[in-house]
Amino acid sequence: MDKPFTPTRLLFEGRYRKFVRDLPQTVFFCPQCRGRGCNRCEGYGKLTKDSIQELVARVAMPRFKARRNKFHGAGREDMDVRMLGTGRRFVFEMQKVKRDTVDLDDLAADVTRRSDGRIEIFDLKLCDRKRVVEIKETHCAKEYQARVRFEEGVEVDLDAAAKVLDGLAAGDRFEIVQKTPQRVAHRRADIERVRWIDITAWEYDGNDLMVSILSQHGTYIKEAISSDDGRSQPSLSSLLGASCRCVELDVVAILEPET
Ligand SMILES: [Zn+2]
C-alpha cells in the first residue's frame, strides 16, 4: 500500500518594509468575482498585479517546492500607506513543502532585489504555527507621518491653525471615539471604539501640514484626520475647525508591545 500523502507545513517569520503606495499586503482578490475572473478584473481575478505576499511567494515557493501559501501580517497598512522604520512582522506559511533546507538570508535578499525597490524583507527565521497567533494578537502603538491637506474652498486661518497644532503637540495624548469607517463598514461590524492618539510634532509644507502622530493599535488614522463625516470624534478637522484630509500616510515605527 502507498503511504498516505501527508502535506508538510513550513513557516518562516520576518519583517517587511514597503516603499510604495500601490501594493497591498496580500493577494487583492476582485470583490466582484472573488478570484474567478470577470470583466472588472479583466479576467485576472485580482485587482493588483502584485502584493507583498506574491513578491515573497514568487521566490519562496519554488525554493521550498511548496504548493500553497498564506501570509499573516502583524496587522496591515492600507495599500496606499508606506511601511517604513524597522518594518512590520509577518509569518509566511507554506503547505505541501518538499524541501526544508533553504538559505533564508539569500531568499530575503532575492525577494528584496526582485521587488524593484518596492519592498525589503529581512530577519527571516523558521517558526512554528503558534507565532501566527502571537504576532496577530500582539498590540503595538504606532507612529505615523501624515500629509494633511485642507479641503479645497475651505477658508483657513493658518495662524489660528498653527496655534491649535502647537497646543496639540505640546499636550498629552487624548481619547478619540471612532465608529467603524464608512470605507470598511461593508466588511466589518459597525462598532464604536475608543483609542488614544498623540500629535507629537507638525510643520507646514507649503499649504499642507506634515503631522507626526503616535496612536494606540487599531486607530483609524485617515478618519482621525478627516472625521469621516463625524464618525470619528474629535478629529483633526474638528479641532482645527476646518475640513482636512490625509493625502499621504507612512507608518514610521511600530513600537514595542503595549503592556
Ligand atoms: Zn473579477
pLDDT of 3 strictly over 80:
no
Catalytic residues: 78
Give the per-residue pLDDT at 241: 94
Structural fold of domain 10-137: Alpha-Beta Plaits (3.30.70)
Residue 30 CA to ligand 1 center (angstroms) comes to 5
CATH code given to domain 140-257 = 3.30.70.3190
Nearest to 210 by CA among 241, 247, 251: 247
Give the per-residue pLDDT at 7: 59
Q: Could you tell me where in the chain the CATH 3.30.70.3190 domains are found? A: 140-257
Give the per-residue pLDDT at 246: 98
- The conformation of residue 24, written as its DSSP 8-state character, comes to -
Q: Could you tell me where in the chain the CATH 3.30.70.2510 domains are found? A: 10-137
Residue 24 CA to ligand 1 center (angstroms) comes to 17
Report residue 189 as a C-alpha cell: 461590524
Report residue 37 as a C-alpha cell: 475572473
Reported as a single tens digit per residue, the pLDDT across 131-142 is 999 999 999 999
Give the per-residue pLDDT at 5: 53
Nearest to 45 by CA among 22, 27, 58: 27
The burial of 3, by beta-carbon neighbours within 10 Å (0-12 exposed, 13-18 middle, 19 or more buried), is given as: exposed
Question: pTM to 2 decimals?
Answer: 0.91
Reported as a single tens digit per residue, the pLDDT across 192-231 is 999 999 999 999 999 899 999 999 999 999 999 999 999 9
According to DSSP, the β-strands at 244-257 and 174-179 are unpaired
Mean pLDDT of 61-72: 96
User: For residues 252 and 16, what is the distance between their CA atoms, to the nearest angstrom?
Assistant: 12
